[in-house]
Amino acid sequence: MKKIKNTKKVKSTNVARKSAVAENCSNVWSWSIYAYWFIILFFIASTFYILGRSHEFMHPRTNVVVTEEVLAGPDAYIESAKAKLVAGDMEAAVADLNAAIDANAASNTYTLRGEAYMQMGDYQKALSDFDSAIEVDGMNAVAFYDRSLLNTRLENYDAALTDINNALAAQSMKPSDVLNLRDLYAKRGQLNLWLKNWQGAIGDYTNSLARNEGSVSANVYAERAEAYTAIGEYENAINDYTSAVRVISEQIQAAPSQEMRESQSSNAMSYFEKSAALNLNLGNTDAAKTDLESAFAIATALNDEESMSRIQNLINGLN
């Protein structure tokens, strides 16, 4: 009987131990469940947050205002204006440039609008825009050059000369792709010629011809010949007229139109006549006659009866 009691006592102890273990396991399992669901809920919340931010990024709120300036910035207006300037639609170009200036008052934008106004004959607005362009950028060579052209049209030659000097200085320090020193020197030479600064004109034309950029213009030779003529250097003038005719003969076939080819031919005829007059002053009668015969041949090709008659009379006078 004593052994049976001990056995019951052992069983009772084992049952108690199992119950405690079960209770402990139950507690651990409960905490594990809580931790598990906490992780799941955190993951779900994070996922919704991320998806929400992505949705907001891909689909902006409808209360964000998208202005016309955002859709078409100043660069777009400027490019559109350039195309319209080339096409000759000045009013539409001005409208685009107005919008560009409202978006960003850049120096080159004022310059372009000034060019459009100048083509439209609104010289006061053009002058105001060139002034504004230079105020924004004091090294804007194109604005100085354009204002020089405008002052030339207005016959303000001294102001035009000052502007071309500034354009030359600005181009040397801050080059513009749309200008080159050859053309700038030629323009200043022309202004000096009109102002009867003969030596200044000769120096500028010589500098222009010495440059490599751009193409040589027959006008530069012809205008330097005028300056040489004014100071009595007839031989140099004759050589320049000869060079002007040579340039025309080289370039005439590449002229874009028949009208341009006829204009160049007419210029060559005029240069031959001027060369003939200078040869007569030097006593070179045969050379003068040769020049006049060349001029007569061009007049015949152009079917210019008035010039043919005039030149033929000159030739007859030499005979």
Q: Report if residue 125 sits inside a domain.
A: yes
Q: Report if residue 123 sits inside a domain.
A: yes
Q: Report if residue 25 sits inside a domain.
A: no
- CATH number for the domain spanning 154: value is 1.25.40.10
Contact 214, 182 (CB under 8 A): yes
Q: Report if residue 145 sits inside a domain.
A: yes
pLDDT for res 163: 98
Q: Tens digits of per-residue pLDDT, 172-181?
A: 999 999 999 9
Instruction: Determine which of 42-51, 117-126, 217-226, 303-312 has the lowest per-residue pLDDT on average.
Output: 42-51
- Look at the pTM and tell me if it is higher than 0.75: no
Q: Tens digits of per-residue pLDDT, 141-180?
A: 999 999 999 999 999 999 999 999 999 999 999 999 999 9
Q: Report if residue 183 sits inside a domain.
A: no
Confidence of residue 45 (pLDDT cuts 50, 70, 90): very low
pLDDT for res 73: 56
Predicted confidence (pLDDT) at residue 101 exceeds the cutoff of 90: no
Task: Provide the 8-state DSSP code for 231.
Answer: T
Identity of the residue numbered 157: Y
Confidence of residue 103 (pLDDT cuts 50, 70, 90): low
Tell me which of 203 and 88 has the higher pLDDT.
203
How many domains does the chain divide into? Answer: 1
Mean pLDDT for the chain overall: 80
Burial of 96 (0-12, 13-18, 19+ CB in 10 A): buried
d(CA 30, CA 27): 5
Confidence of residue 102 (pLDDT cuts 50, 70, 90): low
d(CA 68, CA 312): 68
Percent of the chain past pLDDT 70, that is, above it, reads 72
Q: Report if residue 156 sits inside a domain.
A: yes
CA gyration radius, the chain = 44
pLDDT for res 157: 95
Q: Report if residue 103 sits inside a domain.
A: yes
The domain in which residue 90 lies consists of 73-175
CA distances for 195 relative to 63, 204, 206, 209, 229, angstroms: 64, 13, 17, 21, 15
Q: Report if residue 162 sits inside a domain.
A: yes
pLDDT for res 89: 77
Nearest C-alpha neighbor of 201 from the set 220, 180, 217, 182:
220
Identity of the residue numbered 134: I
What kind and span of H or E run contains 104?
none
